[in-house]
Amino acid sequence: MMNAPGVQGKRRVGVMGGTFDPIHHGHLVAASEVAHHFDLDEVVFVPTGRPYQKSGREVSAPEDRYLMTVIATASNPRFSVSRVDVDRPGPTFTIDTLRDISNIYGPEVELYFITGADALGAILGWQDADELFELAHFVGCTRPGHTLHDPGLPEGRVTLLEIPALAISSSECRQRVAQGEPIWYLVPDGIVQYINKRGLYHGEG
């Protein structure tokens, strides 16, 4: 696996988009792995506003997902959280996320958009891929149980990276909470406590 051709001296910033309902250790390991692989200076987690693709179920309030993301990343000095998607009305499109982050961080920064390889195909399939690639390098993380379909990814702007086998998903965490099963150690301790405190997911399923 080759490193992306980075312009020397530029700050490298990862942008980790997700619903984070709730954030779990799979997300954190993925961010940490990508940060290591690309020598990133920072990873910004960006919880979605109203996710466009997830129409099946009511997603938790943006403020709860934002706060959980802050709690889960608080101890890592290279992790931060952005409100750009949470504060923008309407469904979240990656192009808007990248434009906003790019405006905030300025031209002296190289952006790496980190997402699951599963989500990557969809994003590049239905949004203006050319403009996306002008704004960021794309990193698709593979995880167990998700085989890769090559959506005809353009050379040089996309890297697929294998993440250590962490078969954790937010859906499974929610389901476990709803069934009274523990989620200790699947998510950071503070997230277990926040979910209980706010009564999230308990009535689902």
Could you list the residues that contact ligand ATP (CB under 6 A)?
18-20, 26-27, 30, 115-116, 118-119, 141, 143, 163, 166, 168-171
C-beta separation of 164 from 33 below 8 A: yes
C-beta separation of 74 from 194 below 8 A: no
In this complex, which beta carbon is closest to ligand ATP, that of residue 30 or of residue 35? Answer: 30
Q: Which of 17, 58, 13 lies closest to 40 in space, CA to CA?
A: 13
Q: What DSSP designation does 39 have?
A: T
In this complex, which beta carbon is closest to ligand ATP, that of residue 55 or of residue 107? Answer: 55
For strands 137-142 and 11-18, give the pairing.
unpaired
In this complex, which beta carbon is closest to ligand ATP, that of residue 13 or of residue 173? Answer: 173
In this complex, which beta carbon is closest to ligand ATP, that of residue 18 or of residue 188? Answer: 18
Q: How far apart are CA 205 and CA 188, in angstroms?
A: 23
Phi first, then psi: give them for residue 174, nearest 5 degrees: -60, -45
Rounded to a whole number of angstroms, the minimum distance from the CB of residue 106 to ligand ATP is 26
Check residue 189 and give left, alpha or beta (phi > 0: left; psi -120 to 50: alpha): alpha
DSSP string, 65-121: HHHHHHHHHTT-TTEEE--HHHHS-SB--HHHHHHHHHHHH-TTEEEEEEEEHHHHH
Rounded to a whole number of angstroms, the minimum distance from the CB of residue 108 to ligand ATP is 27
Q: Which residue is nearest to ligand ATP (CB)?
A: 116
Rounded to a whole number of angstroms, the minimum distance from the CB of residue 152 to ligand ATP is 19
Check residue 156 and give left, alpha or beta (phi > 0: left; psi -120 to 50: alpha): left
Rounded to a whole number of angstroms, the minimum distance from the CB of residue 34 to ligand ATP is 10
In this complex, which beta carbon is closest to ligand ATP, that of residue 10 or of residue 165? Answer: 165
In this complex, which beta carbon is closest to ligand ATP, that of residue 5 or of residue 203? Answer: 203
Rounded to a whole number of angstroms, the minimum distance from the CB of residue 164 to ligand ATP is 8
Rounded to a whole number of angstroms, the minimum distance from the CB of residue 102 to ligand ATP is 20
